[in-house]
């Protein structure tokens, strides 16, 4: 048997404020004495905020979590509290149900009297089976490499074929990843017949931070054989759209790389400030940049800019004039508030736009930024073909913290039959910024909110990877090795005082779940990097 404990933490200022500390944390023990925190000692279950009559958010947290083991199901209880620590109601208690502590039922606010027996029998620590603990760790304990293998022998006609032989790295959850190997063939020509022992080093890519100083909301994109990088340019007060071009991903961040402005300040056209979160997307075979921009009055709004036929991305003259995104009736997305962070994706034959909307920012009527989704026609993607649907609001403590009420920066990752819509919450320029998931099946109607599930805790946050603080506003791409990469910005405030871009590999777990928190050290342990095999070279 093993043991599972639930607890809350003490708030520690900006590093771990009450909105995070006042959530349910989990820890495990194999002997009932020494406990190890799960989820890097970050909360897993958060109290849902309430909506006031004026549509603003009344944030909540919780305390005194306990678990009750019932017949085939576990009940998790906690007291729901106001931000000043007072109990919300004496007669009710928060409740979640779970069978495995990997996934959880929807949060309920239930009658204390109705669940009196379960509440009285609930404990902070319960016994669980070793099998259950293994599954819990696969989801909530950082995955790490445990072995690396290459074939014992390979028969090749030509030594140049050896570069195709890769290593298979196995991880703590049983998942695997194929990695490229640099083989040392010095002294062996491609025509030397015979058998040779060859050593190699598995390619391990460190997380380089920062890769680009003062560039936030990064997007990397391959188009007609070249790589491009576009981002919000904090170095120039977020004015203008700037692009880099290179032959390789690493080349985009080489010293002296040119960053060219393809859309500049234009007072006549109303492109004056907040050139935010540009993204490349191919829609209906045409290349677009989706971004937000504002005029003289601060109010960024979603726009699209299309590359002309045969145009060159780096040439400003090859782009059509940006157009503001509209509803199906021809009106703008909003006349009251701001719209930003628009992204595009296609599921089966249907095209979707997702974006962030916020009303009353900086006022007592601030709604917080909210995620919306709608369909569009790829022949005219700047016009919606459905009414916008409210997809998510920042109701969890990790989304609403440090005075920042955020659901923003949506970006899709479509794997097999699942849509993982990554988005960011927390303080966009602070330590608490983090990336979460909204998930759905490609078989479901994506405009029906009940078909979406919000992961209870973020998938990437400041506690997961050393040296990476406030990670958020991400995108995804597939690199030259065929790996899914998450690009995002983070903070290194002690040195740069700016948002800075970086990236790392997305790890696909044994059940197909895409983990965003894989550090370079856990991706490939130093002790596993060197491999050896025997090559039987037959010659040409």
Q: Round to whole Å and give the CA distance between 486 and 403.
A: 27
* 3-class secondary structure, 307: strand
Residues 6+ apart with CB under 8 A from 274: 238, 292, 293, 294, 298, 300, 340
Burial string for 269-286 (b: 16+ CB within 10 Å, else e) reads eebbbbbbbbbbbebeee
Degrees to nearest 5, angle at CA 398 with 394 and 399: 25
Tokens of 146: 């445990």
Q: Which residues partner with 268 through β-bridges?
A: none
CA nearest to 23, candidates 48, 44, 51, 41:
44
Q: Round to whole Å and give the CA distance between 17 and 401.
A: 7
In this structure, is the dihedral angle defined by the CA atoms of residues 200, 515, 447 and 379, taken in order, positive or negative?
A: negative
Q: Which of 408, 469, 492, 523 is catalytic?
A: 408
Q: Round to whole Å and give the CA distance between 475 and 393.
A: 20
Q: How far is CA 430 from the centre of its chain?
A: 16
Q: Round to whole Å and give the CA distance between 472 and 465.
A: 13
Q: Is 279 a catalytic residue?
A: no
Tokens of 201: 């080093």
Q: Round to whole Å and give the CA distance between 164 and 181.
A: 8
Do you find a cis peptide bond into 210, omega within 30 degrees of 0?
yes
3-state helix, strand, coil in the chain (%, to 5): 10, 45, 45
Q: Is 30 a catalytic residue?
A: no
Q: How far is CA 230 from the centre of its chain?
A: 18
CA nearest to 425, candidates 465, 452, 459, 388:
459
Degrees to nearest 5, angle at CA 103 with 102 and 107: 130
What DSSP element (H or E) covers 120?
helix 116-121
CA nearest to 212, candidates 146, 257, 154:
257
Tokens of 505: 């590999």
Q: Which of 217, 279, 399, 469 is catalytic?
A: 217
What DSSP string runs through 140-164?
Answer: HS---EEEEE--SEEEESSGGGGGG
CA nearest to 430, candidates 367, 476, 357, 497:
497
Q: Round to whole Å and give the CA distance between 415 and 512.
A: 8
C-beta separation of 457 from 429 below 8 A? no
Q: Tell me the Ramachandran region of residue 336: left when phi exceeds 0, alpha when psi lies from -120 to 50, beta otherwise.
A: beta
Active site residues: 217, 408
């Amino acid at each position: 048997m093993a043991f599972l404990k639930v607890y809350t933490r003490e708030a520690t200022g900006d590093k771990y404020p009450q909105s995070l500390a006042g959530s349910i944390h989990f820890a495990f023990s194999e002997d009932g004495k020494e406990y190890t925190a799960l989820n890097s000692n970050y909360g897993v279950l958060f109290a849902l905020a309430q909506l006031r009559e004026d549509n603003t958010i009344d944030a909540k947290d919780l305390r005194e979590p306990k678990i009750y083991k019932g017949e085939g199901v576990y009940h998790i209880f906690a007291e729901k509290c106001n931000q000043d620590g007072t109990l919300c109601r004496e007669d009710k208690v928060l409740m979640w149900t779970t069978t495995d502590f990997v996934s959880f039922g929807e949060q309920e606010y239930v009658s204390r009297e109705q669940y009196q027996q379960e509440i009285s029998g609930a404990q902070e620590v319960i016994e669980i089976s070793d099998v259950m603990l293994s599954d819990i760790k696969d989801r909530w304990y950082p995955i790490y490499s445990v072995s690396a293998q290459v074939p014992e022998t390979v028969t090749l006609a030509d030594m140049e074929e050896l570069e195709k032989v890769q290593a298979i790295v196995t991880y703590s959850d049983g998942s695997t990843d194929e990695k490229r190997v640099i083989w040392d063939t010095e002294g062996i020509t491609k025509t030397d017949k015979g058998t040779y022992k060859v050593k190699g080093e598995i390619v391990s890519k460190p997380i380089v931070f920062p890769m680009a100083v003062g560039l936030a909301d990064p997007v990397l994109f391959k188009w007609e054989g070249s790589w491009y990088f576009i981002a919000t340019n904090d170095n120039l007060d977020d004015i203008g759209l700037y692009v880099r071009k290179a032959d390789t991903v690493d080349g985009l961040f080489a010293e002296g790389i040119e960053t060219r402005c393809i859309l500049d300040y234009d007072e006549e056209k109303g492109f004056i400030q907040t050139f935010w979160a540009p993204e490349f997307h191919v829609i209906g075979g045409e290349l677009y940049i989706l971004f937000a921009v504002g005029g003289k009055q601060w109010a960024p709004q979603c726009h699209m800019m299309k590359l002309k036929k045969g145009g060159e991305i780096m040439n400003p003259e090859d782009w059509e004039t940006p157009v503001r995104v509209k509803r199906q009736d021809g009106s703008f997305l909003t006349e009251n508030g701001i719209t930003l962070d628009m992204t595009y994706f296609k599921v089966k034959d249907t095209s979707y736009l997702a974006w962030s909307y916020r009303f009353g920012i900086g006022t007592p009527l601030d709604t917080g930024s909210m995620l919306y989704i709608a369909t569009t026609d790829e022949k005219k993607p700047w016009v919606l073909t459905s009414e916008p649907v409210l997809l998510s609001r920042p109701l969890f403590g990790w989304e609403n913290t440090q005075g920042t009420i955020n659901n923003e920066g949506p970006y899709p990752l479509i794997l097999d039959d699942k849509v993982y819509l990554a988005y960011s919450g927390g303080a966009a320029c602070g330590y608490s910024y983090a990336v979460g998931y909204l998930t759905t099946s490609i078989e479901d109607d994506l405009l029906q909110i009940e078909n979406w599930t919000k992961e209870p805790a973020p998938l990437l946050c400041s506690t997961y990877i050393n040296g990476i603080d406030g990670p958020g506003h991400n995108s995804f791409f597939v690199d030259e090795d065929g790996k899914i990469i998450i690009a995002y910005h983070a903070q290194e405030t002690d040195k740069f005082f700016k948002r800075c871009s970086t990236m790392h590999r997305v790890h696909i777990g044994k059940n197909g779940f895409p983990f965003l928190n894989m550090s370079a050290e856990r991706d490939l342990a130093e002790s596993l990097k060197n491999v050896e095999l025997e090559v039987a070279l037959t010659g040409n």
